[in-house]
Structure 1
Amino acid sequence: MPFLSNTLSDALPKNIVIDLGKHNVLGIGVDAIDYEAAIDKVIGAAVGRQPMSVTALAVHGVMTGVGDPEHRYRLNQFDLVCPDGQPVRWALNLLHGCGLTDRVYGPDLTLMLCRAAAQQAVGVFLFGSTDEVLTRFADSLQDQFPALQIAGVRPSRFRTLSPAERDALADEINSSGAGICFVGLGCPRQEVFAYEMRSRLNMPLIAVGAAFAFHAGMLAQAPPWMQRHGLEWLFRMAHEPRRLAKRYLTTNPAFVTRLAFQKLGLMHRQQEQGRPPQRELLFG
């Protein structure tokens, strides 16, 4: 039974859960999936104490894999890659006819998973960002979901970890009693962390990008109409031009161009596995 199933009445039409598997978007396997199916997968793994790596990719996240064979390999090993950005959803529909009517937006997925975790008595661990952001984020989650167990929090050191520090962090998260670990290190560091720690943690790792700062009330979100029309990048660039202008003004045109070439059969005809990383980065 889905963890967020429709319980109003057996006589009402059932929710259609969409999980069409992975599809090639510029050489990276992105899951054509909706919120309900993604939540069912994550909560099922959490309850079963199964390792799982999950991320939600917008255009920038996809392009980090396009330009780096080692990172492309990491992304293609993820158990679940959700279409975070509207352009990624549009790409799935354009290239593969998936018919997705909504994206799986990382900040919204975070709250939905926390609601489901509270219902299923699954604890969560918050890793990444700063002490201030984590405190505000944890307080916000407890206000919204009083039954949610926050089993632990740990800010990022914003540097490379030693093997001993990595192992100590894995022990801390595993021994906390959490069933889900949310990772907020920013793209692509959070995906690197989730890839490298997957084999060390007996729970899903969810890379959620700016969700920590959004829900801590420290970073403004784009208005809903801008989100629906794929203009969230413009809103964020206007608020952080020095940090984001170069990113968006280079990656967005490159994404559209490559998407056109893939549609024409000139590029990215197959999912490209990339090259296994030669060493661990151990950022945490």
Structure 2
Amino acid sequence: MKNWENMMAHTTFRYMDHSTTNMFDQEQYTALHSFAIDDALALSVSEKLSPPTMRLWVHEQTIVLGIPDAKLPYIHEGVEQLKQAGYHVVIRNSGGLAVALDSGVLNISLIFPDVKNVSIQEGYEAMVSFVQYMLSDLTKRIEAYEIIHSYCPGDYDLSINGRKFAGISQRRVKDGAAVQIYLDVEGDSFKRASVIRDFYTVSKRGESTKFSYPTVDPNVMCSLSELLQTPLTVNDMKRRAMNALLKVSEHVVETNFTPTEYAHYRKRLVQMKKRNTVIPE
């Protein structure tokens, strides 16, 4: 098992903050673009054209579905309900199931090279340990195990006292990996979970399915602010992420996309849009 600090402690680490603006297109900046951006960065890191990268991103009123969600028997009805409630809906290209994003949820992508020599579990463990390190002055109680009845349940759910505040997915492209986490920092976590619960109720209608979809209980989900009884904000977490990166990496640089990365991004965006054609307009 590789030590997470060794995975993070590169001579140079790249930092990109896409939490407030889209740097590339005139069209509306959505989670669709974020997954294309992470793919482009994973390719760039794989090809040694970029150092390892930490990217921060936030999207308003968005439900990100997993690939299995698109096979729900009444997916069109479920998506229509979400859109009527004011949510943008995207199917991502990494693992997992439906999650809720808004201005109180910070997404962090850690993009590593040479992952042919790094197991999928080691990628997850690196993110878990990085978040534990980032919050180590506030709590030592963050654990990683599946929280039953949470949305997007998995072995690397992050929780405190059995209540989940974060989930991790991973996307591998060639010899690069984007390990992505959503952090429920502030706001109404009960409402977020209720929206996902209702989506599954409408999209499944009690029918039996080959895939096991979660029965979501909003009471097992919680924000970090509530769990720690500390008024944390997304901006607070952004500062913590940067400070943690500065402590474990020798140099941190902020650079824009190169022409090659932009070309990768445009191709991956086309692929993401094609993947999302199953979602009704």
| TM-score normalised by L of structure 1 | 0.26
If each structure's strand is expressed as a fraction of its own residues, which one has the higher value? Answer: 2
Return the TM-score normalized by structure 2: 0.26
The structure that is helix-richer by fraction is 1
